[in-house]
């Protein structure tokens, strides 16, 4: 590979030579210098890393949680754990932007949407939200977009989850929304005017009241009614939709997804008819392929940030796909009767428990509840909570000095409830037994009577054999990293090593409640601190928060830190955020959510920030400049020479610099954001740090900052420790439901850094840059490489310009992407950041054979396009415009194309043995948006 670049591989430091050509001298750090600045330990072997993880795990204590508050014990069916969570066919897939090779996970996600839409009684559900609290915040913003009411007041149920109140407060403050808390369940009147109201159903206290009156009241003033509902409770309770709600939100955690010390889990959102175009997040819809057969794909993408930028419906990009798949499969496996049985058993256990206490004269606070019972114990709450933990290993919720909360879940046993009851009464703890036919404490008028999950998919896979085969069948339709390279620019798709994945299902990490006492989670807190300090070292920042659960949320947290900093200095007027035209769409959307005004900075012909335009914009907005958001290396895959000059210009004008860290894979060990002039950055652990992409999530988007911004990083009312690595205390508002976000997957990134060591990270960066430059060099004569640095080198990705090809041959970037499927590849990133181009990022994980196979495919496609230009193939009937070719199309009785069946499906010989067969032909995107359908289609739609 080095030889192809004209570098003698025999010379010492041959790769270092390449890196010196690629990375500007002004920022280049050599190995010795990098090591001197780092506290990252030398690389551990796989066995050593696992031993250390076991030691950290054993410092956690897994107690049975009855804390509730949106996180519950749940039984992950083994068939789902093994065949989804632990199966690379599911967890290494990319976001389904290429729908023809993503039909399996798209079907799983449409099952998720159907499940949510059925249970909430609303027409359209997305797949998915980042967690319940951010889903409520997004719903609040949806309401503000959707209604004409002038008011800036949003009503919050006083019985809402505390973490949701915290996230709402953060998000509302940035946008001048006034939150008014109201005891809606207690019948308190709403304020005079509001653009929306949010009701928790059942409440955080467990209480169930009829939300209809509050819904009517908010409708009467022209606002929207948002209900956060427990999805499992909805198998027994009347749906929010049937009660008049406009939007329902919540989490699907208790559908078989372990608590994981806070996440990841899939949040959900469903809306009534008429609001679907306002939905944030990903929406799967049904369309048709080139042969008119139904096929799934992402719908209404024109709402999203990569197209609408600062006008997008939200900044959510990475969502929680893998967890949504698990939750959907939990419903598929149990079916409606199974879910109802689980919920019914929970509700009756809770009622029985309350009955025992009441019979003994104990003061149970509410009469109507699903799974949560609150008990009044004057001045004894602390003592009882401590006793429960010490005597029985059970965690109860400390509500206040006089009140204890007990939440029953799928895993709670009668024995455990017996034990807990003994803390409140003098009775013999074993005096109680389960009474068959015990009454649930759900209000009769709110009992659910309508059907749900009636689609055959929820009635067909209730045996393990059937379930295992269904999951295999779906996985077989998809292309993930277990089949071959996914050369996506901007979304580093590297190996997710098996050893890195090992610990996430260990109970010591998977079964922790996010609000468990600090003593129970010492191992996780230590792991978090170590990872924080390593990420600080890698980036050249001082403080790191792991709370944001996607890159987009890290952006928001970082911009809010900048906002907090300016406000603390009395600079209220600093609200302008400069963003280069080439930026990722989330940048602009996040700036808007942070209450900033976006001003676009031009890029020059080389793809660099146009420094003259930047200086002009800085001057024009000198008084109001808040921040510059810049991506480094740039989204064009180039290390800009002038980065230090650019960041200095912003600082001189009193602004702060946000460096988008999604491209850190091109920099680790060679340069640090903090030293380029960055004040704050987010990283994408699901790109650079080996957390699998999961088909579109989970993600972790840590926000890293210099010391002067540290106190404005996200804090959390439920955090076990206010102190973070380096001794910093974070006082900013919460941006996620859980204090440490998606803590359950942090062992993956911990293991990655631990097994690489700084030197390994540095070598992997060089390998990634070498691979990208090798591809650029080999393909240059077939497709122009759009941008390079001063010495002709790209960074970790390269942009292939397909616009000349289109001019010469009529073949589009879409045709090339779809033809790559026939060659056994996932297409690179299409038309970002430049329309009509492909951005290729091979990563350090692909070996030469796979990279050469990709080059062979791209060269073959070029040859085919030339055959179109020369007239060998007609423009409307050739292997490119007809791609991809399914097995059915290649074996059709009649074949009237000017190319052979073999050319169609085996364009290179090696495919005969290794072929991936796409299940559908090219999908008609526009049809699906015109005929929006976002739930499981009837089975007969697939009859040919
Ligand atoms: C992926 C990406 C983001 C957004 O990260 P998510 O985790 O998808 O929210 C932001 N900026 C750039 C440049 C990216 O590539």
Residue 162 confidence (pLDDT) above 80 = yes
- 550 Cα to the center of ligand 1, angstroms: 8
Nearest CA to ligand 1 atom 2: 662
320-376 confidence digits (pLDDT tens)? 999 999 999 999 999 999 999 999 999 999 999 999 999 889 999 999 999 999 999
Find out whether 320 and 306 touch, Cβ atoms under 8 Å: no
- 632 Cα to the center of ligand 1, angstroms: 13
Give the mean model confidence (pLDDT) for residues 168-193.
Answer: 97
Q: Supply the pLDDT for residue 428.
A: 66
Burial 429-468 (b: 16+ CB within 10 A, else e): eeebeeeeeeebbbeeebebeeebbebebbeebeeeeebe
Task: Please give the Cα distance from 605 to 581 (Å, whole number).
Answer: 12
- Return the bridge partners of 154, or none: 179, 196
| Of residues 548, 7, 482, 442, the one with CA closest to residue 207 | 442
Q: Which atom of ligand 1 is nearest to the CA of 491?
A: 15
Question: Which one of 281, 490, 662, 664 would you pick to mutate in the ligand 1 pocket, going by the greatest count of ligand atoms within 8 A of its CB?
Answer: 662
Predicted confidence band of residue 605 (pLDDT cuts 50, 70, 90): confident
| Of residues 105, 854, 828, 86, the one with CA closest to residue 476 | 105
Contacts of 441 (CB under 8 A, 6+ apart): 347, 350, 351, 354, 367, 368, 369, 370
- 502 Cα to the center of ligand 1, angstroms: 26
Give the mean model confidence (pLDDT) for residues 738-758.
Answer: 98
- 633 Cα to the center of ligand 1, angstroms: 14
Q: Which atom of ligand 1 is nearest to the CA of 490?
A: 15
Q: Dihedral sign for Cα 831, 836, 841, 842, please.
A: positive
Q: Supply the pLDDT for residue 276.
A: 95
- 87 Cα to the center of ligand 1, angstroms: 24
- 317 Cα to the center of ligand 1, angstroms: 7
Q: Supply the pLDDT for residue 849.
A: 97
Q: Supply the pLDDT for residue 306.
A: 86
* Assigned domain for 441 exists: no
Nearest CA to ligand 1 atom 8: 318
Q: Which atom of ligand 1 is nearest to the CA of 635?
A: 13
Q: Which atom of ligand 1 is nearest to the CA of 684?
A: 7
Q: Which atom of ligand 1 is nearest to the CA of 553?
A: 9
Question: Which one of 322, 486, 490 would you pick to mutate in the ligand 1 pocket, going by the greatest count of ligand atoms within 8 A of its CB?
Answer: 490
Q: Which atom of ligand 1 is nearest to the CA of 315?
A: 9
Nearest CA to ligand 1 atom 4: 551
- 692 Cα to the center of ligand 1, angstroms: 14
- Which DSSP helix (H) or strand (E) runs through 816? helix 813-822
627-668 confidence digits (pLDDT tens)? 999 999 999 888 999 999 999 999 999 999 999 999 999 999
Nearest CA to ligand 1 atom 6: 551
The full 3-state SS of 632-644, as one line of letters, equals CCCCCCCCCCCHH
| Of residues 521, 522, 523, 545, the one with CA closest to residue 533 | 545
Give the mean model confidence (pLDDT) for residues 842-871.
Answer: 98
Q: How many angstroms separate the first and last alpha carbons of the chain?
A: 49
Q: Which atom of ligand 1 is nearest to the CA of 699?
A: 7
- 684 Cα to the center of ligand 1, angstroms: 7
Nearest CA to ligand 1 atom 5: 551
- 626 Cα to the center of ligand 1, angstroms: 21
* Assigned domain for 20 exists: no
- Please name the residue that has the structure tokens 């989850």: 161
Contacts of 938 (CB under 8 A, 6+ apart): none
464-510 confidence digits (pLDDT tens)? 999 999 999 999 999 999 999 999 988 999 999 999 999 999 999 99
- 687 Cα to the center of ligand 1, angstroms: 9
Nearest CA to ligand 1 atom 3: 551
- 920 Cα to the center of ligand 1, angstroms: 29
The full 3-state SS of 32-52, as one line of letters, equals HHHHHCCCCCCCCCHHHHHHH
- Out of 320, 346, 369, a domain closes at 320
Q: Supply the pLDDT for residue 345.
A: 95
**Strand pairing category for 576-580 and 723-724:** unpaired
- Please name the residue that has the structure tokens 């890029």: 603
Burial 67-93 (b: 16+ CB within 10 A, else e): bbbbbbbbebbebbbebbbebbbbbbb
- 229 Cα to the center of ligand 1, angstroms: 30
666-713 confidence digits (pLDDT tens)? 999 999 999 999 999 999 999 999 999 999 999 999 999 999 999 999
CATH number at residue 255: 3.40.640.10
- Please name the residue that has the structure tokens 């806070």: 262
- 558 Cα to the center of ligand 1, angstroms: 14
Question: Which one of 664, 684, 686 would you pick to mutate in the ligand 1 pocket, going by the greatest count of ligand atoms within 8 A of its CB?
Answer: 684
- Please name the residue that has the structure tokens 């270092």: 16
- Out of 270, 302, 320, a domain closes at 320
| Of residues 530, 504, 538, the one with CA closest to residue 747 | 504
For residue 593, what are its two tokens? Answer: 């959510």
Nearest CA to ligand 1 atom 15: 490
Q: Which atom of ligand 1 is nearest to the CA of 552?
A: 9
Question: Which one of 282, 316, 586 would you pick to mutate in the ligand 1 pocket, going by the greatest count of ligand atoms within 8 A of its CB?
Answer: 586
* Assigned domain for 620 exists: no
Q: Supply the pLDDT for residue 620.
A: 97
Task: Please give the Cα distance from 724 to 526 (Å, whole number).
Answer: 10
255-290 confidence digits (pLDDT tens)? 999 999 999 999 999 999 999 999 999 999 999 999
Q: Supply the pLDDT for residue 93.
A: 98
324-333 confidence digits (pLDDT tens)? 999 999 999 9
Task: Please give the Cα distance from 770 to 772 (Å, whole number).
Answer: 6
Question: Which one of 96, 555, 660 would you pick to mutate in the ligand 1 pocket, going by the greatest count of ligand atoms within 8 A of its CB?
Answer: 660
Q: Which atom of ligand 1 is nearest to the CA of 583?
A: 13
CATH number at residue 856: 3.90.1150.10
860-903 confidence digits (pLDDT tens)? 999 999 999 999 999 999 999 999 999 999 999 999 999 999 99
Q: Which atom of ligand 1 is nearest to the CA of 555?
A: 10
- 910 Cα to the center of ligand 1, angstroms: 35
Q: Supply the pLDDT for residue 515.
A: 98
- 662 Cα to the center of ligand 1, angstroms: 6
Predicted confidence band of residue 25 (pLDDT cuts 50, 70, 90): very high
Residue 99 confidence (pLDDT) above 70 = yes
Task: Please give the Cα distance from 184 to 445 (Å, whole number).
Answer: 18
The CA angle 884-887-891, to the nearest 5 degrees, is 115
Domain count, the chain: 2
Predicted confidence band of residue 944 (pLDDT cuts 50, 70, 90): low
Contacts of 740 (CB under 8 A, 6+ apart): 261, 262, 514, 524, 528, 546, 547, 719, 746
Nearest CA to ligand 1 atom 7: 551
* Assigned domain for 578 exists: no
* Assigned domain for 338 exists: no
- 115 Cα to the center of ligand 1, angstroms: 28
801-822 confidence digits (pLDDT tens)? 999 999 999 999 999 999 999 9
The structure's pTM equals 0.98
Task: Please give the Cα distance from 738 to 513 (Å, whole number).
Answer: 10
- 316 Cα to the center of ligand 1, angstroms: 9
Predicted confidence band of residue 429 (pLDDT cuts 50, 70, 90): low
* Averaged pLDDT of the chain: 96
- 616 Cα to the center of ligand 1, angstroms: 28
In terms of residue numbers, what domain contains 271?
A: 87-320
Residues contacting ligand 1 via CB (< 6 Å):
317-318, 490-491, 550-552, 584, 586, 631, 635, 660, 662, 684, 699, 701
Q: Which atom of ligand 1 is nearest to the CA of 586?
A: 10
439-452 confidence digits (pLDDT tens)? 999 999 999 999 99
- 549 Cα to the center of ligand 1, angstroms: 12
Q: Supply the pLDDT for residue 607.
A: 79
* Assigned domain for 536 exists: no
Q: Supply the pLDDT for residue 183.
A: 97
Find out whether 41 and 757 touch, Cβ atoms under 8 Å: yes
* Assigned domain for 381 exists: no
Q: Which atom of ligand 1 is nearest to the CA of 318?
A: 8
- 771 Cα to the center of ligand 1, angstroms: 22
Question: Which one of 131, 316, 551, 664 would you pick to mutate in the ligand 1 pocket, going by the greatest count of ligand atoms within 8 A of its CB?
Answer: 551
Question: Which one of 305, 493, 552, 630 would you pick to mutate in the ligand 1 pocket, going by the greatest count of ligand atoms within 8 A of its CB?
Answer: 552
- 318 Cα to the center of ligand 1, angstroms: 7
- 841 Cα to the center of ligand 1, angstroms: 15
Q: Which atom of ligand 1 is nearest to the CA of 631?
A: 13
Nearest CA to ligand 1 atom 14: 662
Predicted confidence band of residue 430 (pLDDT cuts 50, 70, 90): low
* Assigned domain for 175 exists: yes
Q: Supply the pLDDT for residue 939.
A: 85
For residue 470, what are its two tokens? Answer: 């269904």
The backbone torsions φ and ψ at residue 787, rounded to the nearest 5 degrees and listed phi first, read: -130, 140
Question: Which one of 558, 584, 588, 658 would you pick to mutate in the ligand 1 pocket, going by the greatest count of ligand atoms within 8 A of its CB?
Answer: 584
- Out of 273, 298, 320, a domain closes at 320
């Amino acid at each position: 590979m080095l030889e192809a670049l004209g570098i003698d591989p025999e010379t010492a430091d041959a790769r270092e030579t390449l890196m010196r050509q690629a990375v500007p001298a002004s920022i280049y750090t050599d190995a010795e210098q990098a090591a001197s600045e780092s506290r990252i330990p030398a690389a551990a072997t796989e066995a050593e890393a696992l031993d250390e993880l076991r030691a950290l795990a054993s410092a956690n204590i897994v107690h049975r949680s009855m804390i509730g508050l949106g996180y519950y014990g749940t039984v992950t069916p083994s068939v789902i754990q093994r065949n989804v969570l632990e199966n690379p066919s599911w967890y290494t897939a990319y976001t389904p932007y290429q729908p023809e090779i993503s039909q399996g996970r798209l079907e799983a996600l449409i099952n998720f949407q159907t499940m949510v839409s059925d249970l909430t009684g609303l027409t359209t559900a997305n797949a998915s939200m980042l967690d319940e609290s951010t889903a409520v915040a997004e719903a609040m913003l949806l309401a503000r977009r959707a209604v004409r009411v002038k008011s800036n007041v949003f009503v919050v149920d006083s019985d809402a989850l505390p973490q949701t109140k915290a996230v709402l407060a953060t998000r509302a403050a940035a946008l001048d929304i006034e939150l008014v808390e109201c005891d809606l369940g207690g019948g308190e009147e709403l304020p005079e005017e509001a653009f929306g109201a949010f009701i928790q159903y059942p409440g955080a206290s467990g209480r169930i009241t009829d939300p209809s009156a509050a819904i009517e009241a908010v409708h009467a003033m022209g606002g929207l009614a948002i209900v956060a509902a427990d999805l499992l409770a909805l198998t027994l309770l009347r749906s929010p939709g049937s009660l008049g709600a406009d939007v329902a939100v919540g989490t699907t955690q208790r559908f078989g997804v372990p608590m994981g010390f806070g996440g990841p889990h899939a949040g959900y959102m469903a809306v009534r008819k008429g609001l679907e175009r306002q939905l944030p997040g990903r929406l799967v819809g049904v369309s048709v392929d080139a042969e008119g057969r139904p096929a799934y794909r992402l719908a209404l993408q024109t709402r999203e940030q990569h197209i609408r930028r600062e006008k997008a419906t939200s900044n959510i990009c990475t969502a929680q796909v893998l967890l949504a798949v698990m939750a959907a499969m939990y419903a598929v496996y149990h079916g409606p009767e199974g879910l109802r049985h689980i919920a019914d058993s929970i509700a009756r256990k809770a009622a029985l428990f309350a009955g025992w206490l009441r019979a003994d004269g104990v003061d149970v606070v509410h009469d109507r509840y699903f799974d949560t019972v609150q008990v009044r114990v004057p001045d004894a709450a602390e003592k009882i909570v401590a006793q429960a933990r010490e005597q029985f290993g059970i965690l109860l919720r400390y509500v206040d000095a006089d009140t204890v909360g007990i939440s029953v879940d799928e895993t709670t046993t009668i024995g455990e409830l017996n034990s807990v009851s003994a803390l409140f009464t003098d009775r013999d703890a074993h005096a109680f037994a389960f009474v068959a036919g015990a009454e649930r404490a759900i209000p009769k008028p709110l009992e659910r009577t309508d059907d749900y999950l009636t689609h055959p998919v929820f009635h067909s896979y209730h045996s393990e054999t059937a379930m295992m085969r269904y999951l295999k069948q779906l996985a077989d339709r998809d292309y993930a990293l277990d089949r071959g390279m996914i050369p996506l620019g901007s979304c580093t798709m590297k190996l997710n090593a098996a050893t890195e994945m090992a610990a996430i299902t260990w109970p010591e990490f998977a079964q922790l409640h996010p609000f468990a006492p600090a003593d129970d989670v010492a191992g996780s807190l230590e792991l978090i601190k170590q990872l924080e300090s390593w990420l600080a070292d890698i980036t050249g920042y001082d403080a790191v928060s792991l709370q944001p659960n996607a890159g987009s949320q890290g952006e928001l947290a970082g911009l809010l830190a900048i906002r907090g900093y300016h406000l603390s200095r009395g600079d209220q007027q600093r609200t302008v955020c400069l963003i280069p035209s080439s930026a990722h769409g989330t940048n602009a959307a996040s700036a808007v959510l942070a209450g900033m005004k976006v001003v676009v900075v031009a890029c020059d012909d080389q793809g660099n920030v146009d420094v003259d335009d930047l200086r002009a914009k800085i001057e024009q907005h000198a008084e109001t400049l808040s921040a510059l958001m810049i991506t480094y290396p740039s989204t064009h895959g180039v290390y800009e020479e002038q980065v230090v000059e650019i960041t200095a210009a912003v600082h001189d004008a009193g602004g702060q610099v946000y460096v988008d860290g999604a491209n850190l894979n091109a920099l680790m060990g060679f340069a640090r954001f903090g030293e380029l002039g960055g004040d704050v950055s987010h990283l994408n652990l699901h790109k650079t740090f080996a957390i699998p992409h999961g088909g579109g999530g989970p993600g972790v988007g840590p926000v890293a900052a210099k010391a002067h911004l540290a106190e404005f990083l996200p804090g959390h009312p439920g955090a076990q420790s206010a102190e973070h690595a380096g001794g910093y205390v974070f006082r900013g508002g919460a941006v996620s439901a859980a204090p440490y976000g998606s803590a359950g997957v942090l062992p993956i990134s911990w293991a990655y850094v631990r097994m690489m060591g700084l030197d390994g990270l540095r070598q992997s960066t060089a390998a990634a840059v070498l691979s990208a430059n090798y591809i650029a060099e080999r393909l240059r004569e077939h497709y122009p490489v759009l941008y390079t640095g001063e010495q002709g080198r790209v960074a970790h990705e390269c942009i292939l310009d397909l616009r000349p090809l289109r001019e010469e041959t009529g073949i589009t970037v879409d045709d090339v992407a779809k033809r790559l499927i026939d060659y056994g590849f996932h297409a690179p990133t299409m038309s970002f950041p430049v329309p009509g181009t492909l951005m290729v990022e091979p990563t350090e994980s692909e070996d030469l054979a796979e990279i050469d196979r990709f080059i062979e495919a791209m060269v073959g496609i070029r040859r085919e396009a030339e055959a179109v230009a020369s007239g060998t193939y007609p423009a409307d009937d050739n292997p490119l415009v007809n791609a991809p070719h399914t097995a059915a199309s290649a074996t059709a009785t009649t074949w009237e194309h000017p190319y052979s069946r073999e050319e169609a499906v085996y364009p290179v010989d090696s495919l005969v043995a290794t072929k991936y067969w796409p299940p559908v032909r090219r999908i008609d995107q526009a049809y699906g948006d015109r005929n929006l359908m976002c739930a499981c289609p009837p089975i007969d739609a697939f009859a040919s």
